[in-house]
Amino acid sequence: MRAFVFPGQGSQKVGMGVELAGASPAARAVFEEVDDALGQKLFAILRDGPEDQLTLTENAQPAIMANAIAVLRVLEIEGGITLADKADFVAGHSLGEYTALCAAGAFSLADTARLLKLRGQAMQAAVPVGIGAMCALLGADIVKAQALADAAAEDDVCAVANDNDPTQVVLSGHTGAIERAIALVKDFGIKRGISLPVSAPFHCSLMQPAADAMAAALEKTPPASLRVPLFANVTAAMVTDPQDVQRLLVEQVTGRVRWRESVLAMQAAGVEQFVELGGKVLGPMIGRTVADVAVTSVIGMADIEAFAKEL
């Protein structure tokens, strides 16, 4: 069995998707459709930068999605592959969950772009700059990370935002609590704590205003039926009902990204091959979480051609 997985924020870089757009009309059409949906020249930022514009949450989220869907479209149109025929499940990391749902037919490309633009704006606006922060814990499992978060919180918010793999967990919350957590890592047997260059504390209760904004947006643009089941971030379980998907997308804004558990659940469901479209971020996490699975990263034309032959 095979799962197609889609990367989240942090995987963006200037130049992403440019080679593919130059080589494939199908990829070019994806970037043009996203530009039209957003009423902005997002592909120009992807192509030329500046990097600080691409890193803005409201630009990074639709850009990462567009790049991954461009890869998928080339696979489908030029490789003659249908996602529903080749994938048993889809999953995505944080914003990648929207990409996965677009791939599975729950949202159109234009609607996905607009939802992610709004999501990025809402997450940015939820907490004033400087109030919140995030850090990555290296050499930390979920038990150590939770204990550290509890100790560092005091009267602030300090929560596990991403449980990425058995060696990497991300904390999110008030800036003071995150600074305390970084200072305390050695006391909890954690190798290192690294402050992340993010503009807001994602996936914690401070994001409630953004969750409210997404609840309103998803009422107007609800998901349709999925052609392929999704493993959801906040439950690490399979979901197919559009109403459940809608509810979980709202919960995801403030909830933990249970990526490690999702990978384990997909393996338990029979997945033997994970295919990451549009990035090389999730593959190493998957490799550190489960053994005896194949992990394939598909980004450029050469990757697409090789993968199409394999299928």
Positions marked catalytic: 94, 203
Spatial contact of 227 and 4, defined as CB atoms under 8 Å apart:
no
Spatial contact of 10 and 284, defined as CB atoms under 8 Å apart:
no
Element (H, E) at 67: helix 57-77
In the structure encoding, which two tokens stand for residue 140, read together?
A: 């930390």
CA-CA distances (angstroms) from residue 263 to 3, 172, 213, 266? 10, 22, 29, 5
Spatial contact of 24 and 72, defined as CB atoms under 8 Å apart:
no
Rounded Cα gap, residues 275 and 308, in angstroms: 12
Rounded Cα gap, residues 293 and 5, in angstroms: 14
Burial of 72 (0-12, 13-18, 19+ CB in 10 A): buried
Rounded Cα gap, residues 225 and 232, in angstroms: 15
- Beta pairing class for 2-6 and 89-92: parallel
- Nearest CA-CA partner of 95 in 273, 278, 269: 278
Amino acid at position 309, single letter? K
For tokens 């070019």, name the residue. Answer: 28
